[in-house]
Amino acid sequence: MVLFLLSLAIGALAHNHPQREGKLVGKVEALPPDGLVGDWTVAGVVVHVTAETEIDQEHGQVQVGGVVKIEGTFRTDGSLDAKEVEVLANPGPVTPPADSKVFGVVKLQPTAAAPVEAEGVALIRVFKLGDTVVREDFKVGVEHLLPEHMYDVFVDGVHAGAISTDGEGEGHLFLSTASLPGAEPLPPELSPLLDRQQVEVRDGSTVILTGNFADARWDGGGHPQREYLAVAPLASSEGVVMGLGVAEIKESKQTLKLAAFFLPATAPVTVVVDEQELGTVQTQANGYIHVIFSTQPEDDQLPLPEASLPVSSWQKLELRDASGEVLLSGEFMPTARPGTATAPGQVRRYLGRPHR
């Protein structure tokens, strides 16, 4: 119903783009019958793999259902000539058994020394089995900082790690006690994470962003977690609303339902939440996408990466093109009463006026 009402609220527009370099992250849906050379299907995109393609299987074997990252050149028909392939994860649990999860998220505020519009977010996530901690995660995401610059992250005066921003001034740090794709080891000095307070992002000795977990939004408890519903209207840089994301927890299932229009036609679009890539999908010929990510995927749904959970900790949703440019973005706004609020009502509220 959410996506149906969204389609009534917004029209469609198609664009064509020339051949270009890019990357694709998504679930492997089909492989050649004999070996790996040939055409794959990844997140709905046809991927051409040759004998010259470098395939990194350090984190697991290539298989249907696994998640891979592919770098190469997109053709004008939307398919991808693969230069490098890396297996990120394969089907199966990546989280140790746990009967409870506690998490806190705090928005990092810019200091007077920060670049204009600089912002960030820090997240703590702790998994427990009874009274025993079985996994701890710590994440920091930043944006609108200096491009291609190195920043240091300190927690209670302890150096946690470094963030290297990209050409858009965005970057992230992901630390964990578990072996997860994209995660670096959590320094022992930061454990237990639930005792940590002050987070600082520094440029040399100058504090750029700061926040305190005493001011964080906390949640937790046994699985399944409480019901939750939040919406993120997706707008262009000009402020025109062109899509919507709905994050939901219902019983033990967590989902992201996403629909957007006015995107480049038959082109890959990467879905990013708080600097975490969820996957890449291909737009239709009219520039429309409709995708569902889930912790219990069915049919053509895509899996939600464990490293991104829980959805109730999410702050920002972005759609990016193959070059990493942000096409649409929006912040999640939880409903006052998740158990009774309806997503169609949120669509009418946010899409009733599609322009600023």
pLDDT digits (tens), the chain, 356 positions: 444 333 333 332 223 334 577 777 777 889 998 889 999 998 788 999 999 999 988 767 888 877 788 888 888 888 889 999 988 765 544 445 555 667 788 889 999 999 999 998 888 888 877 778 888 889 898 989 999 999 999 999 999 999 999 888 988 898 988 876 678 899 999 999 888 999 999 999 999 999 998 887 776 554 434 567 788 888 888 877 788 898 888 877 889 999 998 899 889 999 999 888 898 888 888 888 889 999 888 877 888 887 788 887 788 899 999 888 999 998 887 664 434 333 333 333 333 332 22
Q: State which CATH number among 2.40.30.10, 3.90.1170.40, 3.40.50.150, 2.40.50.140 fits the domain covering 20-89.
A: 2.40.50.140
Q: State which CATH number among 3.10.450, 2.60.40, 3.30.720, 1.20.1300 fits the domain covering 2-12+223-351.
A: 2.60.40
What sign results for the dihedral spanned by CA atoms 27, 29, 34, 38? negative
Give domain limits for the chain: 2-12+223-351, 20-89, 100-221
CA distances from 108 to 122, 169, 211, 213 (A): 7, 15, 5, 10
Per-residue pLDDT, 220: 59
Per-residue pLDDT, 18: 45
Per-residue pLDDT, 186: 92
Per-residue pLDDT, 11: 30
Reduced to 3 states (helix: H, G, I; strand: E, B; else coil), residue 308 is helix
Per-residue pLDDT, 97: 53
Per-residue pLDDT, 13: 28
The pair of structure tokens assigned to 36 is 């790996």
Residue 204 identity: G
Reduced to 3 states (helix: H, G, I; strand: E, B; else coil), residue 349 is helix
The class of domain 100-221 in CATH terms is: mainly beta
In the chain, DSSP finds a helix count (H) and a strand count (E) of 2, 26
**3-state SS, one letter per residue, for 277-299:** EEEEEECCCCCCEEEEEECCCCC
Per-residue pLDDT, 90: 57
Residue reference for tokens 């996408």: 289
Are 2-12+223-351 and 100-221 equal in CATH topology? yes
Q: What is the DSSP letter of 34?
A: S
CA distances from 243 to 77, 104, 315, 344 (A): 24, 28, 16, 13
